Amino acid sequence: MAQKITLKKIAQDLQVSISTVSKALRDSHEISLETREKIKQYAKKYNYKPNNIALSLKNQKTKKIGIIIPEIVHHFFATVISGIEKVANEKGYQVIICLSGESFAKEVVNMDMLANGSIDGFIMSLSKETMEKQDFHHLREVLNQGMPIVMFDRVVEGIACDKIIIDDAAASYSAADFLMRKGRKNLAIISTVDYVNVGRLRTQGFKDAVIGRGLDFKESSVLKIEDAENCATEIENFLKKDSYDGIVAVNELFAVTASKALQNLGKTIPDDVAIIAFTDGMLSKYASPTLTTIGQKGEDMGGLAAAKLIERLESKQDIDESYETVIVKTSLIERESTP
């Protein structure tokens, strides 16, 4: 028998995007009739079978949960997985993890692979590229066929699923406000690009806090990092441009990088500059000085996501019921980087 054909292979062979293939096979009107026909014929010729999700769902439960996350080097995602595993295993479910590597195409391909009978439902956090493209057809298709999704952290509006988030704007507001209560007056935020919801919301919360205290908010006090892996020079240049006395960073990597850069510039932390980071991971505990953080409760978020998904999988009711967004409370953990 011939090798099973994949979405990716069809896309390569016909020189179209994976998204186009995926949409064409689902008969989306976004794709021209001609292209749809061409793709469908090709898929048929090579025995590609879309739309067998509903079938497999009706036939049997796999008792497996699929997780799709952007990456695992980030401590936050590792703690979320740990929370998911714990609750899922207790309830007799196994967990399969796939990484999107921040790529939209990989997210679509992984989702397609797992949805074809391997698992009962998804827990996911979107790739940066997916959020940039604002293309969520792969989520909608899975949902349309009756397979539930729970999104966490990087979520989007308008998708009919449960969501587990922290109140990013409020947490960032309180972080900035904490610094101002300690007397800091010239704050900056090191964030991500705006299409990542957490970056946008945390920047908004920061801005609201600064304005709320009657201080001047300058757009130049916001650094939006696109490429986290090579952020060191960008952060150093940003910090050279102004004499900030307080920094909020949307993750601990940005925070320790800023801390190193400031120390290299001859600043003392927290005397000259105070720092607060999102994510209470290993780096925050072992950096020097240790970092004051906003604990995101990754394990709690993972546990809640798993419980929610399993509840929905095992519910006897119709799945068209209303969806819930659970907001997990954050906590401020004070360490040496703030006075």
Q: Residue numbers of the site for a second copy (CB under 8 A)?
A: 1-4, 6, 8-9, 59-64, 72-73, 75, 78-79, 81-82, 85, 89, 92, 94-99, 101, 106, 109-110, 113, 118, 253, 256, 260, 282-283, 286-289
Identify the bridge partners of residue 246 per DSSP, sorted by sequence position: 187, 274
CB-CB neighbours of 29 under 10 Å: 8
Min dist. Cβ of residue 114 to a second copy (A): 8
What gap in Å lies between CA 15 and CA 155, rounded to an integer?
30
Nearer to a second copy, 200 or 297 (CB): 297
Nearer to a second copy, 11 or 179 (CB): 11
Cβ contacts of residue 326 below 8 Å, gap of 6+? 162, 163, 164, 165, 304, 308
Alpha helices in 127-240 (DSSP H): 128-133, 137-144, 168-181, 197-212, 232-240
Nearer to a second copy, 107 or 168 (CB): 107
Nearer to a second copy, 176 or 283 (CB): 283
Nearer to a second copy, 103 or 144 (CB): 103
Min dist. Cβ of residue 118 to a second copy (A): 6
Min dist. Cβ of residue 282 to a second copy (A): 6
Nearer to a second copy, 207 or 297 (CB): 297
The secondary structure of residue 1, as a DSSP letter, is -
Cβ contacts of residue 321 below 8 Å, gap of 6+? none
93: which 2 tokens? Answer: 């479910």
HEC-encoded secondary structure of 14-40? HCCCHHHHHHHHCCCCCCCHHHHHHHH
Min dist. Cβ of residue 252 to a second copy (A): 9
Q: How far is CA 332 from CA 97, 166, 171, 329, in A?
A: 30, 13, 9, 10
Min dist. Cβ of residue 55 to a second copy (A): 12
Min dist. Cβ of residue 155 to a second copy (A): 22
